[in-house]
Amino acid sequence: MSTPQDLIVRCQKGDTHAYTRLYELHAKYVYNAICRYVDHTGEAEDLLQETFVDAYHAIGSLNDAERFGPWIKRIGINKAITSLRRRRLQLTELDTETTVLAEEAAIDEEDFEYTMGRVNQAIAELPLGYRTVFQLHAVEHIPLVEIAGLLGMAGSTARVQYLRARTKVLEMLKEGTYER
């Protein structure tokens, strides 16, 4: 059995079997990340294929084989964001003087319990723009400043959208309004 390092080295030498093995090991992981941003299955599958093609062409620039998973996942997320941009994702530009402090203190999280399944359901109910910012920050741990740049919005807008999305998720969890 080949180690990730062996597979990367073999891919860098043009071994398509090693590339196929990397695909088998990471496709589901990358696909799930893409699906957090793209709702259409066919589009997500296309983006997955594009991600692996781009990774194959750029694999020579990968210095640390142990970082292959996060590296290719990030390529997939960037592809999904580009797709959202192409569809002209409407993200609400907010006044920078919007009061954020009141929103941050709106809900006491300790008032209720929740499971990951319930959290995922609540996130899925968010409007696309809020859901995108929320997932990039809360799930992928991308800084809000970087998210703003990726989505072409002001940093304050990304912050407010994240906080509003977080507040909305917590409200839905507390009230159970995410369930259909």
The tens digit of pLDDT for each residue in 94-146 reads: 444 444 444 444 445 454 556 777 888 888 888 888 898 998 898 888 899 98
CATH number, span 101-175: 1.10.10.10
pLDDT at 51: 95
**3-state secondary structure at position 66:** helix
The runs of H, that is alpha helices, within the chain are: 4-12, 16-35, 41-58, 68-86, 101-104, 116-124, 128-134, 144-151, 155-175
Q: What is the CA radius of gyration of the chain?
A: 19
Domain parsing of the chain, residue ranges: 4-86, 101-175
Query: pTM score, two decimals?
Result: 0.65
Confidence category of residue 1, pLDDT binned at 50, 70, 90 = low
**Chain mean pLDDT for the chain:** 81
> What is the tens place of the pLDDT at every residue in 47-69?
999 999 999 889 888 888 788 88
Mean pLDDT of 143-151: 88
Please give the distance of CA 162 from its chain centroid, rounded to a whole number.
13
pLDDT at 46: 93
- CA–CA distances in Å: residue 177 to residues 35, 76, 87, 122, 125: 23, 31, 29, 8, 9
Percent of the chain, pLDDT > 70?
82
Asked if the model's pLDDT at residue 38 lies above 90, the reply is no
pLDDT at 178: 57
In the chain the first and final C-alpha atoms are separated, in Å, by: 46
User: Pick the residue with more confidence: 172 or 179?
Assistant: 172
Closest CA to 22 of 45, 49, 4: 4
Please give the distance of CA 27 from its chain centroid, rounded to a whole number.
15
pLDDT at 76: 94
- CATH classification for the domain delimited by 4-86, as one of 3.40.190.10, 3.30.540.10, 1.10.1740.10, 3.40.1160.10: 1.10.1740.10
